[in-house]
Amino acid sequence: MSQDSVREAKPAAASHAALPWWRRVEGLPIIVVFAALIALFMALSPEVFLGWPIYLSFLTTVPPMLILALGLTLIIAAGEIDLSFPSVVAFSGFLFAWFTRTYDLPWVGAVAALLGGALVGWLNGVLVAWLGIPSIIATIGTQFFWAGIATVLSGGLSYSLRTVDGTAIYAIFAGEVGGVLPMQALWAMLLAVAIWFVLNRHRFGEHLLFIGDNAEVARVVGINVGREKMKAFVLMGVIGAISAVLLTLENKNFFSTQGQGYLLNALAAVFIGGTSVFGGAATVVGTFFGGFIIGMIEAGIVATGIEGFWVRAIVGIVFVAAVAFHLTMEDPRRLRTLARRLFRSG
């Protein structure tokens, strides 16, 4: 980084330190929204949300989607988008299931799944970083391509993997810690911590944020923009493969359409959490709690007795409200401006 960039960063750091403590807590707005939703569900459906089974259910079902959202946070931080990760879940899931079912080699299948995810990520990186195709176009194309490959290779059939029950790989990735905490949740938390350190304490994360803020300036100060974007897409592919393995083990089945329902949910988790859609600013803590909000809201709505067809409408309201609340807490001047406009119009 150039000396001029360092000088510009110092005032920003000083102004950040001068903020009230509550404004320096990463992801605080979304944590407040998460706590408020839990409190609301407890009040409206105490028989469900005052007991522990519902929370264990969330810790089992949310992690595969949450892991995808965590990886997506790095991509969006760099000012790019990846819409191909649902097909990674299908393609890598197939590789894992095929080796497990055909040769009874689940560990080989897991390695093959990771390599398959890396391949998808590498191809995305080639299209975006080397050929200059806009990432939204490139990854829509690879989403269709790899989803089609997964369907062709599997013949559109599902694979039962009941033989993994009781194996070491199942215990490590889909079992329970102390007979209580699902391993999926533990892996999601470990990955969240790792990605937080990458984004906030590692040069790679600093480069991604710099690129997302202004790619041309990043080139001027010596950052290899193409290489860093390539690394981000490959990492996203590997993270998608991890999600695929966890999901396939959890279900003890492979479906050629698995992962397709995660696209909007993972994107919503990232943006609800406070990551900027334009890049240059991202929060792993926000994504973590945003993922659990998205993962629990449907169950919470149903438990309160509201008709199921209201779910998407309420999710949309929560999405907009959470983003608006985050922007308001980030810059209270927005609230004062809105109040003045409402007062004048009244």
Q: Cβ(262)–Cβ(66) under 8 Å?
A: no
Q: How far apart are CA 21 and CA 287, in angstroms?
A: 21
Which pLDDT score is estimated for 23? Answer: 63
Residue 51: predicted pLDDT: 92
Give the span between the Cα atoms of 297 and 290, in whole angstroms.
11
Q: Is the pTM of this model over 0.85?
A: yes
pLDDT score of 8 = 46
The one-character DSSP state at 309 is: G
Place of tokens 């509550």: 22
For residue 277, what pLDDT is reported?
A: 86
Domain extent listing, the chain = 45-329
Per the CB < 8 A criterion, the answer to whether 252 and 162 are in contact is yes
CATH architecture of the domain with range 45-329: Orthogonal Bundle (1.10)
Q: Provide the H-helix boundaries in 50-129.
A: 53-61, 63-77, 85-103, 106-125
CA distance 317 to 39: 17
The pair phi, psi for residue 181, each rounded to 5°, is: -80, 120
Question: For residue 114, how many C-alpha atoms fall within 13 Å in the half-sphere facing its CB?
Answer: 7
Q: How far apart are CA 94 and CA 90, in angstroms?
A: 6
pLDDT string in tens for the chain (346-residue length):
444 444 444 444 444 555 566 567 788 888 988 999 999 999 999 999 999 999 999 999 999 999 999 999 999 999 999 999 999 999 999 999 999 999 999 999 999 999 999 999 999 999 999 999 999 999 999 999 999 999 999 999 999 999 998 899 999 999 998 888 999 999 999 999 999 999 999 999 999 999 999 999 999 999 999 999 999 999 999 999 999 999 999 999 999 999 999 999 999 999 989 898 889 999 999 999 999 999 998 888 888 887 767 777 887 887 788 777 777 776 666 656 656 666 676 5
Q: Considering only CA atoms, which of 322, 214, 256, 323 is closest in space to residue 91?
A: 256
pLDDT value of position 7: 44
